């Protein structure tokens, strides 16, 4: 794998940016384009995990050995010039064994899922001592500043006073240390003792991460006033975790579930960069056990790429995914998309899809859900199930199963439209291709 489009070079320094670092598979070799500094041609290459060190990042600087005639250049063993470290390059350089840095230690040099390299020849002073170049494109560790009352210019109060409504963001400007009155238009049943916590943050950092907070801060342009933002409907622990991402203090989510918990708040606060990063993490960690939770999250918070990966995984292992216990908690929209799926890797009996639809419906009844949300509209469970059962291809079932199982299920037969579906199946089985009336008459395709 070679990346050519993200380098920038001058006579003195070469910069290389590698975006979407988390999406690069382990044990992958990534190379920069060739570049030239001073009289040397060079190339950066790194390995994200190796056979011997699966949790290590190996970074090498590849330099052709220079002979008397430049036309006789030949490739030599890679020179590892990072860890980070300063390496003197000359015709007589001796190459030492490779050195590594742990992937867990990359949080200090990765910003918004982008790893950045810079190569700069060292400058020797007149005294003979080496002078290290400035570290370019490296994020500043501002953790101590975030927790300091001295350097902050925005105070954020996070109040978890409503566990079911959307997030509310309110801006106050305090004049002469008088706190503005706090009001909220959010309705619902508040917690008996709302959780509340205050965070000292920086306007510049937060505005760069959140379009919503940037818009709120732009509403009040007077200088010299202390800004206070009140965020309601968010767990302070979740918000504190998000601040770790905003300030580049986190190497990544601790688990798939944590990423799913963080995404709703990043969506509400328009933290688009962090939300995209969290979805990239989910894409790399989808399994049969968590796929439905990931698919639900991607559907609700609009990540088509993640939805597509979930759908492709289901097409690969439809039995494992449809029979997973996590299928019960799938959102209606995800259920509809799953039961409409085509181009399966292996043929699957249509009965599997039928039974999955019934199991999902029974799970909703046990949870006493009479109303569900479909396309942001409140819809009765019976109406949702009518749409779901219409995805089942009854013409592909045996006539004996239709008569002895489906038609004897009173709940199914009382569902709107099912009798027409059963009639369509019998008619197709009797007349064949002459009576194809819908896509249900065709078997699910294979790829």
Number of other CB atoms surrounding residue 390 within 10 Å: 20
Question: Helix (H, G, I), strand (E, B), or coil: what is residue 379?
Answer: strand
From 109, 85, 110, 108, select the one nearest 96 (Cα to Cα).
85
CA 125 to CA 197: how far, in whole Å? 52
From 316, 314, 283, select the one nearest 298 (Cα to Cα).
283
Rg of the chain on CA atoms, in Å: 29
Q: Quote the pTM value.
A: 0.62
Interior CA angle at 103 toward 100 and 105, to 5°?
A: 90
Q: What is the pLDDT of residues 255-282, one digit of tens each?
A: 999 999 999 999 988 898 889 889 988 9
Task: Please identify which residue in the block is written with the tokens 């309601």.
Answer: 232
Residues in a beta bridge with 114: 111
DSSP strand pairing (226-232 vs 154-160):
parallel
Number of other CB atoms surrounding residue 396 within 10 Å: 19
pLDDT for residue 182: 36
Q: What is the pLDDT of residues 159-211, one digit of tens each?
A: 887 554 556 666 665 543 333 333 333 333 444 567 888 888 887 788 888 88
Task: Please identify which residue in the block is written with the tokens 């043929």.
Answer: 347
**324, 375 Cβ separation under 8 angstroms:** no
CA 388 to CA 397: how far, in whole Å? 17
Q: pLDDT (tens digit, 0 to 9) for every residue of the chain, 447 residues total?
A: 333 333 444 445 677 778 777 778 887 888 877 777 666 677 788 888 777 777 778 777 777 654 333 333 333 333 333 333 333 334 444 333 344 566 666 665 566 677 777 776 654 444 344 434 333 333 455 555 656 666 677 888 888 875 545 566 666 655 433 333 333 333 334 445 678 888 888 877 888 888 888 777 776 655 545 578 888 888 899 999 998 888 777 777 889 999 999 999 999 888 988 898 899 889 888 888 899 999 999 999 989 989 999 998 899 888 888 988 889 889 999 999 999 998 888 889 999 999 999 999 999 998 887 788 887 778 889 999 999 999 999 999 999 999 999 999 999 999 999 999 999 999 998 887 777 778 888 888 876
CA 217 to CA 214: how far, in whole Å? 5
CA 177 to CA 226: how far, in whole Å? 8
Task: Please identify which residue in the block is written with the tokens 């019998």.
Answer: 426
């Amino acid at each position: 794998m070679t990346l050519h489009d993200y380098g920038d070079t001058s006579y003195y320094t070469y910069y290389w940016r590698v975006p979407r670092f988390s999406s690069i598979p382990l044990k992958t070799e990534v190379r920069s384009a060739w570049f030239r500094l001073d009289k040397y041609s060079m190339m950066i290459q790194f390995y994200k995990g190796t056979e011997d060190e699966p949790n290590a990042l190996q970074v090498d600087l590849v330099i052709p050995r220079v002979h008397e005639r430049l036309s006789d250049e030949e490739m030599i063993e890679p020179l590892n010039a990072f860890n980070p470290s300063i390496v003197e390059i000359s015709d007589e350089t001796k190459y030492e064994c490779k050195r590594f840095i742990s992937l867990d230690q990359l949080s200090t040099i990765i910003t918004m899922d982008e790893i950045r390299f810079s190569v700069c020849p060292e400058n020797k002073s007149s005294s003979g001592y080496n002078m290290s170049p400035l570290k370019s494109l490296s994020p500043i560790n501002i953790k101590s500043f975030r927790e300091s009352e001295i350097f902050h210019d925005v105070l954020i109060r996070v109040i978890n006073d409503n566990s079911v409504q959307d997030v509310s963001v309110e801006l106050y400007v305090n004049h002469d240390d008088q706190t503005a009155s706090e009001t909220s238009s959010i309705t619902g049943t508040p917690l008996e003792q709302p959780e509340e916590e205050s965070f000292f943050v920086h306007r510049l950092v937060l505005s760069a991460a959140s379009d919503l907070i940037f818009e709120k801060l732009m509403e009040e342009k007077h200088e010299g006033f202390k800004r206070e933002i009140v965020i309601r409907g968010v767990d302070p622990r979740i918000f504190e975790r998000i601040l770790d991402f905003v300030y580049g203090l986190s190497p990544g989510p601790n688990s798939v579930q944590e990423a799913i918990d963080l995404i709703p708040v990043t969506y509400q606060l328009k933290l688009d960069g962090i939300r995209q990063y969290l979805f990239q993490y989910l894409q790399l960690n989808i399994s049969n056990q968590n796929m439905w939770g990931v698919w639900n999250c991607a559907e609700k918070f609009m990540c088509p790429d993640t939805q597509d990966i979930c759908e492709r995984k289901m097409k690969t292992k439809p039995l494992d995914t449809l029979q997973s216990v996590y299928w019960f908690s799938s959102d209606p929209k995800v259920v509809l998309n799953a039961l409409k799926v085509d181009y399966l890797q292996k043929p699957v009996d249509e009965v599997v899809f039928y039974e999955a639809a019934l199991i999902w419906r029974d799970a909703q009844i046990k949870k006493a859900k009479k109303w569900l949300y479909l396309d942001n509209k409140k819809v009765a469970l019976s109406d949702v199930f009518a749409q779901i059962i219409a995805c089942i291809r009854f013409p592909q079932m045996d006539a004996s199963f239709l008569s002895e199982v489906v038609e004897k299920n009173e709940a199914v037969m009382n569902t709107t439209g099912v009798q027409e579906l059963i009639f369509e199946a019998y008619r197709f089985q009797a007349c064949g291709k002459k009576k194809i009336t819908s896509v249900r008459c065709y078997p699910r395709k294979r790829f």
